[in-house]
Amino acid sequence: MMNRWLLPEDIADVLPAEARKVETLRRAMLDLYQSYGYELVAPPLLEFLDSLLTGTGSDLNLQTFKLVDQLSGRTLGLRADMTPQVARIDAHLLNREGVTRLCYAGSVAHARTPVGSSAREELQLGAEIYGCATWEADVEAISLLLKTLSLAGLNKVHLDLSHAGVLVGILDGQDIAKEDIAAIYSLLQSKDRPRLALWAKCLPTESADALMALTELNGSCSDVLAQAKQVLPKNKLIDEVLSQLTKIFTAASLLSEELELSIDLADLRGYQYHSGVMFAAYVDSLPQPIARGGRYDHVGQAFGRSRPATGFSIDLLTLASLSPAIGRKSAIVAPWINDVELLMKISDLRHGGEVVIQAMSGDTLQTAEYLCDRELVRQGSLWEVKKK
């Protein structure tokens, strides 16, 4: 007989001390976003699948749990990413003309455990800027991400930049099938130079040489940008990509003294999703990125309104596991008796921010969350707080 307390593979409970840390960080980060003018939204956990996956490519489809709605007979999806939902809210429900800043925090689930992760459920936290097509919005997203990590005690951050437009510029004017484009991205991502060279033989020499060069265009921002100007084709798209990366690198380098910046022009993960600059944030003790973000100007188009968009998302559960532990909260122990004055005293203490735990007679308090270092005792006709 199967144990009823077992959970599915790579699904886990969050126990008291860690849950409090997660919630403390969530509140602090949403307050931070509010101070920047971001408005909180809460999309539904389930949506019709065709809406949930609109404009996101095949990667998200593979990660999405699917089920049949008994009311409509249509296929529903359990969200694996909240960003498309927030884009739908901006494009279809809010329908504003100017710049809109939205933030969110909610659970997402993955049908398969993501590469480099040990969990199929995440608490996704993110912030998005809609209606601003300039590079300054991308820098604001990066700045907010760094402050998010700083709130969790993670100040030493390595930020790796890339741009979805670089390959578009290299292949500009070439008639290439969609499946072949996917193959190119895969080869670039793995930096498989021998197979990439074989594939590139069907391209003009300039484009083929540029593809091969992408696999080596990684490292310090100034060096990569200087080299890219020499080896990549001279066209409007490439020039715009390099100009944007230069502006973002220059501005981001002023955000934090502990920030390390690099560029990898072959890191094109999420190409089906992103349309411009992309960034991945790394911290010590975690091999995969702690957060990813970038520009995705075309997602809203599927909802009837194309809007410039940029932002980032982060798994709050992973972030909390890397954040320093929060100390146990001091608590007061009070007896569980029917005494009006005692209940009034307890109410006043709780209203003032104290934790008061009423213990029944013979109860041995067992809590990992609270340090019961004080108690309520009767002193004559009054109830007073005394150290234990």
To the question of whether residue 269 is assigned a binding role by annotation, the answer is yes
* Surface-to-core class of residue 117, CB atoms within 10 Å of its CB (0-12 exposed, 13-18 middle, 19+ buried): middle
Which of 83, 34, 106 is CA-nearest to residue 297?
83
SS3 319: helix
Q: Please give the Cα distance from 31 to 29 (Å, whole number).
A: 5
Phi, psi of 191 (to 5 degrees): 55, 45
State which amino acid sits at residue 297: D
The token pair at 160 is 């790796």
Q: Please give the Cα distance from 127 to 130 (Å, whole number).
A: 10
The token pair at 313 is 């998302």
Phi, psi of 144 (to 5 degrees): -65, -35
Q: Please give the Cα distance from 335 to 315 (Å, whole number).
A: 41
Phi, psi of 158 (to 5 degrees): -110, 125
Which of 117, 124, 114 is CA-nearest to residue 79?
124
The token pair at 74 is 């249509």
Eight-class DSSP state of 101: E
To the question of whether residue 20 is assigned a binding role by annotation, the answer is no
Sign of CA dihedral 124, 127, 132, 136: negative
Contact 170, 207 (CB under 8 A): yes
DSSP 144-169: HHHHHHHHTT---EEEEEEETHHHHH
To the question of whether residue 81 is assigned a binding role by annotation, the answer is yes
To the question of whether residue 124 is assigned a binding role by annotation, the answer is yes
Which of 376, 374, 386, 383 is CA-nearest to residue 331?
374
To the question of whether residue 174 is assigned a binding role by annotation, the answer is no
To the question of whether residue 88 is assigned a binding role by annotation, the answer is no
Q: Please give the Cα distance from 126 to 106 (Å, whole number).
A: 9
| Beta carbons within 10 angstroms of residue 361's beta carbon | 7
Phi, psi of 329 (to 5 degrees): -85, 135
Annotated binding site: 81-83, 124, 128, 269
Show binding-site residues for L-histidine: 81-83, 124, 128, 269
